[in-house]
Amino acid sequence: MESGANSLYRCSNCRNPLALVEDLLSKNFIAKSGKAYMFQHAMNVVLGPKYDKQLITGRYSIADIFCSKCGEELGWKYVQAYDMKNRFKEGKFILEEIKMFQKY
Ligand SMILES: [Zn+2]
């Protein structure tokens, strides 16, 4: 795996690998810090307890995501969507752009 397959996003704080570029689904998300990306999978993250939250697009059960190495809060995971139109987000990860850097 020496080719482009190792392109990934890392924690901007400790450089822990967090997500693969190929698992990036969308860059059109907004978090409290600004832009955020949606990923199919995330690695080396720890999930906080899930809780209900009203977001701009609807109501969800989400869990905050923390870096497994440095403990930095990175974003959240959609655990459950209460609106049918948002069901596709279930199980997906949101990582804040400001918390990551991309390493090729
Ligand atoms: Zn970290």
Q: How far does residue 84's CA lie from ligand 1's centre (Å)?
A: 34
Average pLDDT over residues 55-84: 96
If pLDDT is split at 50, 70 and 90, which confidence band does 32 have? confident
Residues 6+ apart with CB under 8 A from 4: 104
Above pLDDT 70, what percent of the chain? 92
- CATH among 2.170.150.20, 3.40.50.620, 3.40.30.10, 3.90.1150.140 for 4-103: 2.170.150.20
Give the per-residue pLDDT at 1.
42
Which band of pLDDT confidence, cut at 50, 70 and 90, is reported for residue 61? very high
Tell me if residue 87 falls in helix, strand or coil.
helix
Ligand 1 center to 15 CA (angstroms): 6
Q: Mean pLDDT of all residues in the chain? A: 91
Instruction: Show Cβ contacts of residue 20 under 8 Å, excluding neighbours closer than 6 positions.
Output: 5, 7, 8, 9, 39, 41, 43
Give just the sign of the alpha carbon dihedral 98, 50, 42, 25.
negative
Please report the pLDDT score of residue 85 as a whole number. Answer: 96
Where are the domains positioned within the chain?
4-103
Q: Are 96 and 74 in contact (CB under 8 A)?
A: yes
pLDDT of 5 > 60? The answer is no
CA–centroid distance, residue 40 to ligand 1 (Å):
19
- Hey, is 74 helix, strand or coil? strand
